[in-house]
Amino acid sequence: MTVPFVIPHLQQQHLRKLTVAKKVTAVGMAVSGLLALSKLIVGWLAHSTAVLADGVENVGDLFGSGLVLYALFVASKPPDKQHPYGHGRSETIAGLAVGFLLGVSGLGICYESFRRLHVVTEIPHMYGIWPLAASIIVKSGLSTGKFMFGRRLESAAILADAWHDGIEIISGLVALAALGLTLYDPAHFAAADRWGGFAVGVIVLLTAFHVVRDTSNELMDAMPGDERIERIRQVALNAPGVLGVEKTYARKIGLQYHVELHLEVNPHMTVQASHDLATACRFLIREKLDWVADVVVHIEPFFGAPR
């Protein structure tokens, strides 16, 4: 197996990305913690199932962000003998864990909300609206920021966390509408608050499915889109001496891709010359495509027509 090499300025760039990811996640944890505490306290005092359900969802978000933050610290470790591809998969595993955490919290919210449908409770108080309204505003900004950084850094964990925040906006709106109906007409919509909590649980379950599906694809080494594969091929073809690209494979590990290339070269080229060409191609791809961590090159004889 080809030993991974490090280009210093690219390694620094990768570490800077991880540092940004950690800061984004830490800010998300602090915000989710404050929102969860306010919703649980106000939801309990205001006798609102919808507010409590949304608070429980925030607690799940807090734990999920904690997993992501830990995984990003693990992903910062350099490659070693037992992990020659680095520790980036910890970041994807954290994203998968967030998905399962969402699923468990969604089931719990649905169950508790449905159980309360058959329990006589007090009519919720008006002040239960305020933490929901504040959450919708704050989470809108937080989700937008995480989606922006998650796509820029190509972080599955941060994107999973962004989906989590995004769904909290929807769940907050559902909870707010349900609580508003109950407050508007308690005689006819007494159960609306509890149905709102149940709807929040269903929304969380749908999000969990989305997150688990996407992160599982990464863990199963799903290929990137055709556009990225073509960019790798074009950069490789620009390396002096490369006559063709027979195969191109890529798999994502953490924030970057590891690429396998089968290059076609002059069949009469010496072993030393083909080795030098392969090394030059590896460096060229990493220099041009900062989302590529390393490249393994296989040399094949070219018998086609010259390009």
Q: Report the relative pairing of strands 256-265 and 292-301 from DSSP bridges.
A: parallel
Query: 61 vs 43, which has greater pLDDT?
Result: 43
- Tokens 């094949």 correspond to 300
pLDDT confidence tier of residue 261, bands split at 50, 70 and 90: very high
254: left (phi over 0), alpha (psi -120 to 50) or beta: left
Q: Can you give the pLDDT at residue 2?
A: 44
Give yes or no for residue 3 having a pLDDT over 50: no
Helix H or strand E segment including 307? none
Give yes or no for residue 4 having a pLDDT over 70: no
Give yes or no for residue 226 having a pLDDT over 80: yes
pLDDT confidence tier of residue 15, bands split at 50, 70 and 90: low
Question: pLDDT (tens digit, 9 = 90+) per residue, 167-207?
Answer: 778 777 877 777 777 777 776 776 776 777 777 788 778 87
Least confident of 5-19, 152-166, 223-237: 5-19
pLDDT more than 70, % of the chain: 88
Give yes or no for residue 297 having a pLDDT over 60: yes
Query: 183 vs 216, which has greater pLDDT?
Result: 216
Write the secondary structure of 261-305 as one string of H (helix), E (strand) and C (coil).
Answer: EEEEECCCCCHHHHHHHHHHHHHHHHHHCCCEEEEEEEEEECCCC
Average pLDDT of the chain to the nearest whole number: 79
Q: Ranked by mean pLDDT, which of 18-22, 199-203, 223-227, 272-276 comes out on top?
A: 272-276
CA angle 206, 212, 216 (to 5 degrees): 150
Q: Domains in the chain and their CATH numbers?
A: 8-219 (1.20.1510.10), 226-301 (3.30.70.1350)
| Sign of the torsion formed by the C-alpha atoms of 11, 12, 14 and 19 | positive
Q: Ranked by mean pLDDT, which of 68-72, 139-143, 159-163, 195-199 comes out on top?
A: 139-143
Return the half-sphere exposure (C-beta side, CA atoms, 13 A cut-off) of residue 234.
Answer: 8
292-to-13, 244, 258, 278 alpha-carbon distances in Å: 12, 20, 6, 16
Give yes or no for residue 280 having a pLDDT over 60: yes
Q: Can you give the pLDDT at residue 169?
A: 80
